[in-house]
Structure 1
Amino acid sequence: MNGETGRPRRRLRLGALSVALTATLALLCCTGGTAAFFLTELGGDSAEQMTQMSVECTGDFEVNVTGRMPRLSQYGDGQLRNAARIIKVGQDMKVPPRGWVVAVATAMQESGLRNLANRTVAQSGDLPNEGVGADHDSVGLFQQRASWGSVAQRMNPEYAARKFYEKLLTVQEWERLPLTVAAQKVQVSAFPDAYAKHETLAAQIVDALAGGAARTALVAGRQTCDAASGQEIAASGWTAPIAGGVGSGFRTASRPGHNGVDIGAGKGTPIHAAASGRVLVSRCDPDNGGGLSCDVDGYPGKGGCGWFVDILHAGDLITRYCHMVEKPRVSVGQHVDAGEVIGEVGSSGNSSGPHLHFEVHENGDRSSAGAIDPVPFMRTRGAPLRRTG
């Protein structure tokens, strides 16, 4: 919801993106295996999954509001056209693409991308609308209250989007904030955590409507495709945890139990959180008191992740970071921002040399059953993991 009184808004059920699996070559020796564990507390409702689309980052981000809309399982032509109108206003205002993702995700939560009236306006028949929202004075794509303008103004998608962006731009360092925090500072919602679950799909909608714009990051003052790494965050909200190249790949023929990828880097290289989220695990693996310390370099066959961190992100996605050189900088329950340093590269645990073992899990499943190939996943986020060889 949006407004001064904090009244609750109904929560809309939307889906999440499913990611295809691929494989890469095996070079470094390590394992990311840990005990099976299931968690489904961030990310929100499970419903229809978005139709998988391959959208290249073209550099031509001009959205066509009147053109043919892509086909998405959750949304019809009119809803996507509303998303296009939101993006177009952001483009005209020269708001960076991250703002488009935040705005679209917000409208997904507030109205399901429909231009909603309240009951009084709908019954009067004075203004065209796409359904009835709350019974009080909130209307439009962002369900803005009376303080945001007249009813006619707030039910104009361009006006509503402009007012949203104007307030977003007043939020200090809004581009680096988790989406749900940035949206909440604009909306003042009774459900401040509700926006996060829409981030993945909102980024995909922006990609589909605006030439892959959610895959851009601000690098040296320019929006650049597929270049998010470290503290450079893509408009999707993701970044590559380190800038090294992928050696040992995901579940290769020679290593079918390798549930992540190994990224080569020197000992002590900072490791960045790939997206904002909450720390689930921060410990030594194994931690059995048997003299297998994580504070010394490991070796092939030792077993375990060494010092490692698991982070839960919106959409029930989990990332894992193994073989750190020393105790991680973050603790269980801590909220981290995308790009925040969580530890340093090392060779603890089952490892033949310094590198980061990086995993991505879906459905809140930390076990091997939830693991997916990080390489195609990160590429769709505009934060590619570079292959070597």
Structure 2
Amino acid sequence: MTNRAIGLIAAVTAAVALLCAAAPAVLLGGIAAACTAAPGTPSGTNAADRWDADQIANAATMVAVGVQRGVPPRGWVIAVATAMQESSLRNLPSGDRDSVGLFQQRPSQGWGTIEQLQDPTYATSKFYERLLTIPDWQTMALTDAAQAVQRSAFPDAYAKWEGEATAMVQQAFAASGATTPGDVEWCLHAGWTQPVRAPIVSGFRTPERPDHDGVDLAAPADTPIRAAATGQVITARCDTDPSGQLCNRRGSPSTPGCGWYVKIRHPNNLVTMYCHMVRAPIVEVGQTVAVGQEIGQVGSSGHSSGDHLHFETQHPGEGPIDPVPYMREHGAPLGQA
């Protein structure tokens, strides 16, 4: 690793330690209630296995600027993931049309001059400046927050970098021999988001369906389903049929089970469940997923009469609880298209 990378990482570590001690409310960005436990290190490869010293140094710059500006840790991950997609963490001299720099920002769109945008500190500051104007950006899926800033022609492309960006931010601390403070580690993932943005078409344990332990969200087939919060995948399979054959066809009211589904256990021991996926989940048992990370796609497998997501919240010792008030209390109200 270059001296530049080591120096930046050390500076980031010291800055975060100072910020944790002096201004925890700023660091947590208004979500302190959710930042009370660390879920453990996210899945993903070691940054040095994929990224070289200059790329790691550019990511460390983004974290350092975030600390200096009081941006919550979730913002650091969004910035690093965005630059991974836009420039592969390279300070590029050119790009599409007049795009330049880490974020491929365009002088013609008011981001700054070419010279300014090729300064990683300036470019990162401009990214955060716009991110902080986006309402509820901390509880958005990463790809939605990044797109609100960047307005890319490929709005879903940012999502695939979330795991690596999270690992990169954490490893920036570890590379200098420091450990990530527990509250920072948790806040990298803190917050809740809607698993899909769609209207509720069937509620929790209604008089018509007293055994309906979740809510049905009427999203179209192939709509990405996102983890409502950070946690560990504890189930990812075809319900009632380990071979998966029963789920590899469209379900019906006479088909048994939840179809392709996922369960995630969260740091507060709450479990969320996502049913009727169109195909096998894209996550595996034991994997740690970040809030907003795609885990599968909407479908109609299992006991289902049409494309939708069946979403449940379950609490140990209590069983299923109504997800509508729970998600509303956590800043991610369901049923909003």
For residues 333-360 of structure 1, what are the alpha-carbon distances to aligned partners after superposition, in whole Å with 9 as ceiling and x for unaligned? 0010111100000000000000000001
Aligned to 1:379: 328
1:253 is aligned to 207
Deviation per residue, 1:113-134 (Å, 9 max, x gap): xxxxxxxxxxxxxxxxxxxxxx
Cα deviation for residue 381 of structure 1 reads 1.3
Q: CA deviation at 1:167?
A: 10
1:349 aligns with 2:331: no
Post-superposition Cα deviations, 1:158-201, rounded to whole Å, max 9, x if no partner, equal xxxxxx95598697954559xxxxxxxxxxxxxxxxxxxxxxxx
Whether the aligned pair in 2 keeps the contact of 1:226 and 1:384 (CA below 8 Å) is no
How far has the Cα of 1:380 moved from its partner? 1.0
Query: Structure 2 counterpart of 1:101, which letter?
Result: I
Q: Aligned partners of 1:381 and 1:175: how far apart in 2?
A: 21
Residue 246 of structure 2 corresponds to residue 335 of structure 1? no
The higher radius of gyration belongs to 1
Structure 2 portions without partners, runs of 5+? 1-9, 11-20, 39-65, 80-128, 146-186
**1:236–1:169: structure 2 CA closer, same or farther, 3 Å change rule?**
closer
Post-superposition CA distance 1:67-112 (Å, at most 9, x none): xxxxxxxxxxxxxxxx99743xx2xxxx6xx534359946x99xxx
Residue identity matched to 2:237: R
| Residue 276 of structure 1, CA deviation | 0.7
Write the distance in 1 (CA, Å) between the matches of 2:246 and 2:199. Answer: 28
In 2, Cα distance between the equivalents of 1:307 and 1:259? 17
More helix by share: 2
Letter matched to residue 327 of structure 2: M
Q: Does 1:99 align with 2:29?
A: yes
**Taking CA–CA contacts closer than 8 Å with sequence separation of 6 or more, which of the two structures ends up with the larger relative contact order?**
1
Evaluate the alpha carbon distance shift between residue 352 and residue 103 of structure 1 in structure 2; reply closer, same or farther with a 3 A threshold. Answer: closer
CA contact (8 A) 1:267 1:355 kept: yes
> Is 1:242 equivalent to 2:196 in the alignment?
yes
Aligned residue number for residue 281 of structure 1: 235
Please list, as runs of the form range in 1=range in 2, the aligned pairs for 1:206-217 lying within 5 A after superposition. none
Secondary structure of the structure 1 residue equivalent to 2:279: coil
Q: In the superposition, relative to structure 1, how do residues 252 and 104 fare at CA in structure 2: closer, same or farther (>3 Å)?
A: closer
- The amino acid that maps onto 1:373 is D
5+ residue gaps in structure 1?
5-82, 110-163, 178-217
CA–CA distance in 1 between the matches of 2:34 and 2:306? 43
Q: Secondary structure at the match of 1:222?
A: coil
Q: Residues 248 and 165 of structure 1: is their aligned pair in 2 closer, same or farther, counting only changes over 3 Å? A: same
The aligned residue for residue 320 of structure 1 is: 273
Identity among equivalent pairs (%): 43
* 1:1-389 → structure 2 map (5 Å cutoff): 86-87=24-25, 90=26, 98-101=28-31, 105=35, 166=68, 173-174=75-76, 222-224=133-135, 228-231=139-142, 232=144, 237-287=191-241, 293-363=246-316, 369-386=318-335
- Aligned equivalents of 1:362 and 1:319: distance in 2? 9
TM-score (norm 1): 0.44
Pair 343,105 (structure 1): closer, same or farther in 2 beyond 3 Å? closer
Cα distance between partner residues in 2 of 1:353 and 1:374? 21
